[in-house]
Structures are given as C-alpha cells and as structure tokens.
Structure 1
Amino acid sequence: MKTSGRSESTLNNYARHLAQMALHFNTLPTELDEDQIEDYLYLLQQQHNTPSESYFKHTVYGLRFVFRLEGLDDKRIALPAIQREEKLPVILSREEVKRLLHTPTLLKHRILIALLYDCGLRCMEVRSLQLKDIDLNRRMLHIRQSKGKKDRYVPIGSVLAAGLQKYIDAEGPVKWLFNGKGDPSIEGRKGGDFDSRYSQRGVQWAVTQAVKQAGIKKEVSVHTLRHTYATHLLEAGIDIMTIQKLLGHESIDTTMIYLHVAQPVDRPPLSVLDQLYGR
C-alpha cells in the first residue's frame, strides 16, 4: 500500500473503512460475495443519505484498491460509479479578506491566514513550511513534495514578506515556520523525534475563529482561501495557465473551475435591471 503512491490520509481512510466492513461481517472484505458487498453498500447509503458521502466513497474506493492489491478481478463486484458533485467554490471578497486578516490577535494567526491567501497554499503545505523554504530576498516560497509528490515555487508579496520577517524575528522559529504545542511523549514520534508542526486542527481552528470574529457568514474553510487566491488572480488578469502552475494543479481542467466564479474588473454589465435604471 505504501508503494502505491497514495497519500497517508488516503491509505488511512481506506484501512479504516475496510476495517469497519470486516468487523461487520467478521471476515476479510476479499472473502465476501457480491450479495454481501451490495447489502453493505446499501446499508451505508441508507445511513449516510447519498452515495456522494465520504464514508460511502472511501468504502467503495478502498474495495477497488484492495481487490487490485490482492490480484482479484474487481469487476466481479458491481461497485457503483461515484459522480463528482458539481459545486462551485465559495469565494471571499477583497473586503472580507481584509477583515479576516485584521481580526486575529496573534501575529502567528495573521501570518498563517496571509500565507494561505497570498500564496494559495493547501493546509498541509502551510503546516509543512520550514525556514529554509522561505527566501525573503528573492521573495519566493519553496513548496516541497506537495500533492502528487511535486515541488513548486510561488512568489511572496512585499506585504507578506514584511510580515514574515516580523513574525520570524518575534517568534524565533528554529525548523518549522509554525510550531504546535504537542507533547513529544504522545504526538507522532519518528525515530525519537516528534512532529512539532502546527496541527491540521490548529490551522482549521485559527481560520474558523477569524471567520467568526470577522462576522463573515459564508461557509469558509482553510481551502476557501486557496480558492479566493486563484479567483482574485484571475480577476486581476493573470492567465489561467500561470494560475495552474502557481496552484500546482496537474490538470488544467481543475483550474478551469475558477473561470465560472471570477468577475473581471472590465467585464460588461450583466444586470438588465441595472441597465434599465442606468446604474
């Protein structure tokens, strides 16, 4: 499983959901017949409302994976095709981003949110930033081995560069840019060391609290800032191919979704009511 190239979180999800299935039948999922698997998937569908729910999807994907892993013909099991939901991302306005950046009392949280927005980072990417990845002279950020095991560089703006310098001088981080406060005796030991990075939950909490205190009513997650980054770049006239590279998207199709939410500044008026009243 480790050599398959899938992420740690994906493998954990597969293992957890297959384990639940094994406990339900008291046998390995690969020993089940077609009717048993269909009955179990039907049960999940009833419990979790729709086949698009993550619990259902991870069970199906995990089954497909383990059948291939064991050299079994997964076509003998009529596993359902799962369609991707056609949802457009939530985008913050520039005014909302300003409120979000000014809300946190801790400098650490202001810089964290600024990095997510100004560099379009994923949650894992901002957590994994080390001091060696930040080049304030060239104003470049080195994102190492992110999704798809790929590196990329993204530019750092002058406002963020000044904020980063202020934060580094004040906090004095040694390795990771953002450190948590985990107990080394219980948290992610690795060869006598422990993962002292700011936790995923910590990043999510910082963003959620800032959204709440800023009075923003939209459904905002950490990834919303990445969506907002891409959309604001597109609205500023940056071409879609450049945005694809900055985001680290393997396929341009993934980036194209922002064409549906971006509003170029020089766009013609699209409101017939505004035209009617000369606004």
Structure 2
Amino acid sequence: MERAKNSVVAGSQSPKLLDQLRARIRALHYSIRTEDAYADWARRFILFHEKRHPRDMGVAEVEAFLTHLAVERKVSASTQNQAKAALLFLYKKVLQIELPWLSEVVAAKVSRRLPVVLTQREVRELLLQLNGVTWLVASLLYGAGMRVLEGLRLRIKDIEFERREIIIREGKGSKDRITVLPENLILPLREQIEHARALHQKDLADGMGSVWLPDALAMKYKNAAKSWGWQYVFPSAVRSIDPRSAAQRRHHVHEQSIQKAVSLAAKRAAIDKPCTPHVLRHSFATHMLQSGYDIRTVQELLGHQDVSTTQIYTHVMNKGGRGVLSPLDSL
C-alpha cells in the first residue's frame, strides 16, 4: 500500500522519491514514527503543489505550504515546525540540495503553556477505573514519571527489583536514564513478567519468539532477539508484521489502547480536565516537588536535559491555591 502511495505522490518525475526518503531515514537510525511523519509531510508538500518535483521548488513554495497549514488547516506551531523539519530533511539529506534560503522561512513560535496536572485524589480515582495491563501501565507512568512509549517499550532486563529502579533505554533524545520502581508495583510487575514469559515460550514453541532490537544489535548478537531479557514487559496479545523488515513477531501493546483506556477511565471518574497518559507524567513531577524533592532530582528522573524544562512544574504547584492567602480573604 505504501509503495503504491509513493508512486502516486511523486508522479512520473521521481517514482521512488519517498522510498529514497525512507531509506535515508533508516540509514540514520531515525524512529519508525519519524519515518512515517516525514514521508507523510513530503507527500503532502508534493500534492499541495500539484505533484511538482521538490527540485523545481524553493522558498516560495515552502512558505506557501507552511502558511496553508497555519492559516487554512490551523495546525499547531509544533506541527508546522515538524513539517518544516521534514522538508529540510528531504532537501538536505535526500536531494542533497543546500538550502541557504531556508533561513528565510521563519519557524512558528511554540506557545509555552502550563501542563495539565491531576490532584492525588484524581489520580487515585482514575487508577480505580482501570484494571489489568492498562492499570499497570498507567500506574508506572504516574509512579515512575515515564512517557507512555517508554513504559510500553520496557524490556525484562531493564527492571531492577533488588535495587528498586527502572532503566529507561533510548528515551527522548536517545538518552538512557534511571527512575524509581514503586514498591507497590513490584508484585504486579512480577505477575506481568510471568504472563510475558508464557507468551514468549509459546512463541518459541511455534518456531518464533524474536523481538525487535534497536540499530545493529540483531546483527551483532545473533541470538539476542530470542533471549528472555530482551523481551517486552508488555507484549501484545497478537503477533504482527514489522513494517520495515516484514518479519512476523510479537510487538509491545499499542499506545493507542492505553490512550483510549485512560481517556475512558477519566470520564468514568468524572474528571473534567483533559486527561491523557502524559498527564500522569506531569502529575508525577508536580507531586514529587510538592513532597519536597529538589528540582534536580526530579529533572534526572524525568530525563530533562535542561532544568528550565522541569521548572514549569513549580508554576502548577499549590502556591496560588492553598499556599497563598488572597487579600479578599483578609477583609
């Protein structure tokens, strides 16, 4: 399906342009999510200009496309900037065209907004509406400050029960970090691991059992893909086809199932705030600061490169609610 789409998009001038884009992205070890996003933006750019080849276009066409996204499509600033990054990659890395004119295309200013944070009561009510794997994943996001994909991509070998810590591999920015393993999740995690072991043994009995490995690890360590330590803690209930290698294997639970479960749980818990899995990470950071942990500790647990990113949570603490007395209350 993707090959057919590529041919339609690039037209007769360059029928394999998006295939070249994908190949270059894979050579640079970008994620599959980035690959899909960049290919989609390149396709939209070409279609917007009636299938003209990018070699024949320049700053005016890029500006027209980005303006269309902002004015007519009303996309967010971050989405507009992602589109610009995709086009920059297409020109510089695929077409090998230097873009001195790209500096003339101004990046959209991203708004700095306060994150949505749940109270501890709301977190408790939300978790009470969940069960099974979705409850455990949501509890990890709140209890360890993990992003949803960091939780779902967790491998067996990266849970240190004795040291009460979780090693997060290749988080945002391809950085590793260590975060806390909540005491209350030790038993549920052990039970989940036994469930994952049973699925893995079934896959091995069926002549399968390989899991996706990052970068060249699968080539360097021939048996690692089937080893127990590399298996996902939250494996999918069904096997699927890898979009890159076409190999059939068991991936981790899909993030959309967690997003949907959290959203429905928030409705059942009568939580009126916008509630996504990432809100649990925001709540972890805020509640850690409220408990008296210093901001540098929270920064390391979250994996923020700059402490200024962590400081935003100080603005949503109870300084304006219970921490400050309104002059009206003194009358």
After TM superposition, the score normalised by the length of structure 1 is 0.86
Shift of 1:140: 1.1
Say yes or no: does 1:246 pair with 2:270: no
The partner residue of 1:92 within 113, 118, 127 is 118
Q: Match for 2:56: what amino acid?
A: E
Equivalence for 1:20: 44
Give the 3 Å change call, closer, same or farther, for CA 135–33 of structure 1 in structure 2.
closer
Structure 2: which 5+ residue stretches go unaligned? 1-24, 201-230
Give distance in 2, aligned partners of 1:74 and 1:59: 18
The partner residue of 2:277 within 206, 212, 222 is 222
The partner residue of 2:145 within 102, 105, 120 is 120
1:210 alignment partner, SS class: helix
The partner residue of 2:181 within 156, 165, 180 is 156
The partner residue of 2:66 within 20, 41, 51 is 41
Q: How does 1:178-257 map to 2 (within 5 A)?
A: 178-184=234-240, 186=241, 188=243, 190=245, 192-257=247-312
Task: Report percent identity of matched pairs.
Answer: 30
TM-align CA RMSD: 2.7
The answer to whether the Cα contact below 8 Å between 1:128 and 1:197 also exists between their aligned partners in 2 is: yes
The answer to whether the Cα contact below 8 Å between 2:117 and 2:286 also exists between their aligned partners in 1 is: yes
Deviations 1:69-105 (A, max 9, x none): 324124256312211112100000000011111112x
Say yes or no: does 1:10 pair with 2:34: yes
Equivalence for 1:58: 82
The answer to whether the Cα contact below 8 Å between 2:92 and 2:99 also exists between their aligned partners in 1 is: yes
Shift of 1:246: 0.4
Give distance in 2, aligned partners of 1:212 and 1:50: 27
Count of residues in correspondence between the two structures: 273
Give the 3 Å change call, closer, same or farther, for CA 6–262 of structure 1 in structure 2.
farther
1:259 alignment partner, SS class: helix
Give the 3 Å change call, closer, same or farther, for CA 134–34 of structure 1 in structure 2.
closer
1:18 alignment partner, SS class: helix
Give the 3 Å change call, closer, same or farther, for CA 170–199 of structure 1 in structure 2.
closer
Give the 3 Å change call, closer, same or farther, for CA 38–189 of structure 1 in structure 2.
closer
Structure 1: which 5+ residue stretches go unaligned? none
The answer to whether the Cα contact below 8 Å between 1:29 and 1:63 also exists between their aligned partners in 2 is: no
Give the 3 Å change call, closer, same or farther, for CA 163–61 of structure 1 in structure 2.
same
1:148 alignment partner, SS class: coil
The answer to whether the Cα contact below 8 Å between 1:139 and 1:155 also exists between their aligned partners in 2 is: yes
Of 166-175 and 25-34, the range deviating more from structure 2: 166-175
The answer to whether the Cα contact below 8 Å between 1:207 and 1:221 also exists between their aligned partners in 2 is: yes
Give distance in 2, aligned partners of 1:208 and 1:218: 10
1:153 alignment partner, SS class: strand
Of 130-139 and 164-173, the range deviating more from structure 2: 164-173
Give the 3 Å change call, closer, same or farther, for CA 181–167 of structure 1 in structure 2.
closer
The answer to whether the Cα contact below 8 Å between 2:196 and 2:233 also exists between their aligned partners in 1 is: no
